[in-house]
Structure formats: structure tokens, C-alpha cells
Amino acid sequence: MTAFPTKPALLVALALLAGAAASPARAQSAVAEGQKLAFDRGKGNCLTCHVIQGGDLPGTIGPELKDIKAKYPDRNELVAILFDETKRNPQTMMPPFGRNRILTDQEISAIVDFLQTL
């Protein structure tokens, strides 16, 4: 017999609380990584075409990136735009970051996490 009786419900509750506590930290990490990628002139390179709050030397070819969560409440739509906007708009100037393997799925997801904070 152990000194502490096993209570499955308590263990499950503690596991859920531990996971919930880790989630905000993980989300913040993804947002920070997304911003880093978006501002990286050699990777996401979003500032070449877009004005983004906090970014230096933005371009004006694309729309200003603000109020993104309101404009694109469906996260999957924003992921699809970054992956390959030519499917939606064949005339776009935006590179197909996912299709051309400029960004990985994980990197696209991090950028979307960041964009949804704008």
C-alpha cells in the first residue's frame, strides 16, 4: 500500500490543469516564432509587401496586415492563403510559401498564430 491513495479522477484533473497551464506558454512561443519568421527577410519576408505593426521598412504591394482575426475568423483560410494563395487568386503576387516549400507547415502555422494577434 502506498502512502498516497490513487484517485483516478484527481490524477486526471491534475493532468488537465498541467496541460492548460502549459498551453499559454506554448501559444506565446508560437506567436513569437511567427513574428520572427514574418519579419525575417530571408524566410517569411512578409514586410517586403505588407505593413505590419512593429516591422521595419515595409512594402506597399500587399494590404496592411491588421485586424486579421476579424477579417479571417477561419484559421484554415489564412493557412491556405499562406500555403498557396494562387488557388484562390491566380493573379496574386504572393508567393506560394507552402507549395514551393519556402515555409514548412509548422512555420506557416506559427505565422498564422502571429497574424491572428494583429
Contact by Cβ (8 Å): 46, 65: yes
Give the per-residue pLDDT at 29: 85
Model-wide pTM > 0.85: no
Contact by Cβ (8 Å): 50, 64: yes
C-alpha 22/C-alpha 88 separation (Å) is 36
Q: Where are the beta strands (DSSP E) in 35-117?
A: none
Per-residue pLDDT of the chain (118 residues; tens, 9 = 90+): 455 555 555 545 545 555 555 555 666 788 999 999 999 988 889 999 999 999 999 999 999 999 999 999 999 999 999 999 999 999 999 999 999 999 999 999 999 999 999 9
Amino acid identity of residue 112, one-letter, is V
Give the per-residue pLDDT at 44: 86
Give CA separation, 111 vs 12, 17, 39, 51, 86, in Å: 33, 27, 10, 15, 18
Give the per-residue pLDDT at 24: 59
pLDDT digits (tens, 9 = 90+) for 38-63: 999 888 899 999 999 999 999 999 99
